[in-house]
Amino acid sequence: MKIAIKNLKGKNQGELEVKFEMIENGRGTQAVHDAVTAYRAAQRSGTACTKTAGEVQGSNKKPWKQKGTGRARAGSVRSPLWVGGGVVFGPKPRDFSKTISKKTKQLALRKALSERIKLGDVVIVEDLKLSSPKTKEFSGIIDALELQGTTLIVAAADKNLTLASRNISYVTMTTGDLLNTYDILRPDKLLFTRSAFETVEARLTQE
């Protein structure tokens, strides 16, 4: 399959042959689900923490004698039944991350990218260099390429590009080395530089 390469004015200036094997059938759907689930689970901080009766501040002294006061018997001010006491079975810091194999990650990435290419959501430009970190110049490129809705830019790290794009709420950036399945599925359009797309292809053709 071939994808048109555009210049920064939105005009076609050639085609790029997709080198990795695209997935045409339903294969890889479960891998995509697993990869997205693992990615989102890894974003959870897992820092919620409560103190048990043994961890809260307070004396071990019995508040009052066992019998004769008319009050309910009590053994500690740190009891879970008391205000300020410990919490029974409360949350503790934990790691929510899930592990998936390298082959599953690669399959999921290939499946997701194949579907976006088939839907025509992938745009490739030869290069994406800005003369200055001006949002106006960058916005003009987005309009010329007719990128509607949320857009993910996959390109090499560039200071001008980063500064110019950060003021546009519907545009995010990443590199070909860091691109993951969730990144591919989330935006409406994907804008690759040629070199970034080739980097992703190299990842998908590794054994």
Q: Position 91: which residue type?
A: P
**Band of pLDDT at residue 2, cut at 50, 70 and 90:** confident
Residue 31's pLDDT is 96
| Domains defined along the chain, listed by start | 2-44+98-204 (3.40.1370.10), 46-95 (no CATH)
* Residues 174-181, mean pLDDT to the nearest whole number: 94
| Gap between the terminal Cα atoms of the chain | 21
Answer yes or no: is pLDDT of 93 > 90: yes
Q: Which tokens sit at 124? A: 């490739």
Share of the chain above pLDDT 90, in %: 75
The residues pairing with 153 across neighbouring beta strands, listed in sequence order, are 173, 191
Residue 94 gets the label, from left (phi > 0), alpha (psi -120 to 50) or beta, of beta
Q: Is the pLDDT of residue 207 over 80?
A: no
Confidence of residue 13 (pLDDT cuts 50, 70, 90): confident
Q: Up-side HSE of residue 102: CA atoms within 13 Å toward CB? A: 5
Band of residue 155 on the pLDDT scale cut at 50, 70, 90:
very high
